[in-house]
């Protein structure tokens, strides 16, 4: 069951972007392989918040650019045009918020625009379609919607959808725990993964809704949700580049569930183990840009990345390898050219850089670690 609450909040935004360097001698654009990289962290130690880097996706080299103070920005997302980035402040009380920043593309600096309360504790995921921002609030068991103003800042929450229910694991699933929100490839729907109730909630997206017209951005979908195996603990969802398949990493069962996707409907076609040691700490999931390989991170035991080959015809997975990483690999990301995979190892205080064999899909540690206290989210801006 889900309840919608119309509420008021305070907000903040963050922005960054991929920046091409200028050749000082002739003024031509150089560094076409360079990206702006943003890293979100937990700030219980020495980290201040969000850090920006210039990253070369041919060599794997990185240069520090700037930092900005934000409490526990454990997840962030850039706007499509690279002018803004929206970052959560994952707090367990009424200070839980989403923050908005503007980016200076030349310097890589971030300027706080504002912050809004999520009205749901522990926001841990955030997305945007350029007109609205949506957060998944883990302990709050809810998702929150924020219209974006013309200057990139956020209005107070226009809607908060709060869920009810529980799962079979009375310790981990006593209440709903929203862990991820994703737009479908066609942009018509939003799926919200609920670790606590073993459901993927479905919403219809009103693509014309914005700050000016005040239209509702989300409405309840049909069906209201898709159920997965009890005790699975849905965490993160990703779609194949062709838009025909979706893949869900489940934190508790350690399994990847593959679905056929078409016009808002999910049909389960496979369940395969990413975590084979019952660590109950599976975390993130991504597909290589060419659509050939899928990667899933696992924590708590045998910390590392499970590697799967994707059958492009039927979407099914075959496990082909496993790459050990540092401690507590949470979020990870693949460079747009597919050459590198970067892993945020929270408890090792490093971002590890692996080179991908684009034929086999396997990974090799380049030993080009980026040292940073409690990194948990990596994003590129192009």
Least confident of 13-27, 82-96, 193-207, 328-342: 13-27
**The predicted structure's pLDDT at residue 171:** 96
Cβ-proximal residues to 213 (8 Å cutoff; 6+ apart), any chain: none
Region 337-362: what's the mean pLDDT?
Answer: 98
**The predicted structure's pLDDT at residue 104:** 85
Domains of the chain: 2-381 (2.130.10.10)
| Per-residue pLDDT tens over the stretch 34-83 | 999 999 999 999 999 999 999 999 999 999 999 999 999 999 999 999 99
Region 73-96: what's the mean pLDDT?
Answer: 97
| pLDDT band with cut points at 50, 70 and 90 for residue 22 | very low
The answer on pLDDT for 154 being more than 60 is yes
| Per-residue pLDDT tens over the stretch 194-220 | 999 999 999 999 999 999 999 999 999
Is the pTM higher than 0.85?
Answer: yes
The answer on pLDDT for 185 being more than 50 is yes
* Average pLDDT of the chain, as a whole number: 93
Region 148-174: what's the mean pLDDT?
Answer: 98
The answer on pLDDT for 334 being more than 70 is yes
The answer on pLDDT for 315 being more than 80 is yes
3-class DSSP state of 346: helix
Check: CB of residue 278 under 8 Å from CB of residue 219.
no
Check: CB of residue 246 under 8 Å from CB of residue 257.
no
Distance CA 9, CA 127 (A): 17
H helices of 135-272, in order, are none
Region 136-151: what's the mean pLDDT?
Answer: 98
């Amino acid at each position: 069951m889900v309840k919608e609450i119309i509420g008021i909040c305070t907000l903040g935004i963050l922005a960054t972007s991929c920046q091409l360097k200028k050749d000082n001698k002739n003024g031509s654009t150089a560094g076409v392989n360079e990206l702006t990289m943003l890293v979100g962290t937990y700030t219980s130690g020495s980290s201040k918040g969000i850090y920006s880097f210039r990253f070369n996706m041919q060599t794997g080299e990185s240069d520090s650019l700037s930092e900005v103070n934000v409490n526990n920005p454990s997840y962030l997302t850039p706007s499509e045009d690279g002018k803004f980035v929206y970052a959560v402040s994952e707090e367990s009380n009424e200070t839980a918020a989403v923050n908005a920043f503007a980016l200076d593309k030349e310097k890589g600096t971030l300027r706080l625009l504002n912050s809004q309360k999520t009205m749901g504790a522990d926001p841990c995921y955030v997305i945007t379609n350029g007109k609205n921002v949506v957060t998944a609030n883990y302990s709050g068991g809810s998702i929150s919607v924020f219209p974006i103003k013309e200057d990139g800042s956020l209005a107070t929450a226009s809607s908060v959808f709060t869920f009810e229910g529980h799962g079979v694991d009375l310790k981990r699933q006593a209440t709903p725990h929203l862990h991820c929100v994703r737009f479908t490839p066609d942009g018509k729907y939003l799926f919200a993964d609920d670790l606590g109730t073993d459901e993927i909630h479905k919403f219809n997206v009103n693509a014309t809704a914005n700050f000016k017209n005040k239209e509702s951005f989300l409405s309840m979908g049909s069906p209201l949700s898709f159920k997965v195996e009890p005790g699975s603990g849905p965490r993160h969802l990703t779609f194949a580049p062709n838009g025909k398949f979706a893949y869900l990493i489940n934190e508790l069962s350690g399994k990847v569930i593959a679905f056929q996707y078409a016009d808002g409907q999910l049909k389960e076609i496979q369940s395969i183990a990413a975590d084979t040691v019952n660590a109950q700490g599976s975390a993130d999931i991504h597909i290589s840009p060419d659509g050939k390989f899928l990667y899933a991170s696992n924590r708590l035991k045998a910390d590392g990345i499970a590697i799967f080959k994707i059958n492009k015809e039927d979407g099914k997975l075959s496990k082909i390898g496993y790459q050990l990483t540092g401690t507590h690999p949470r979020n990870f990301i693949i460079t747009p050219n597919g050459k590198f995979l970067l892993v945020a190892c929270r408890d090792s205080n490093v971002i590890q850089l692996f080179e991908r064999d684009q034929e086999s899909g396997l990974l090799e540690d380049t030993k080009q670690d980026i040292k940073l206290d409690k990194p948990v989210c990596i994003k590129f801006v192009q």
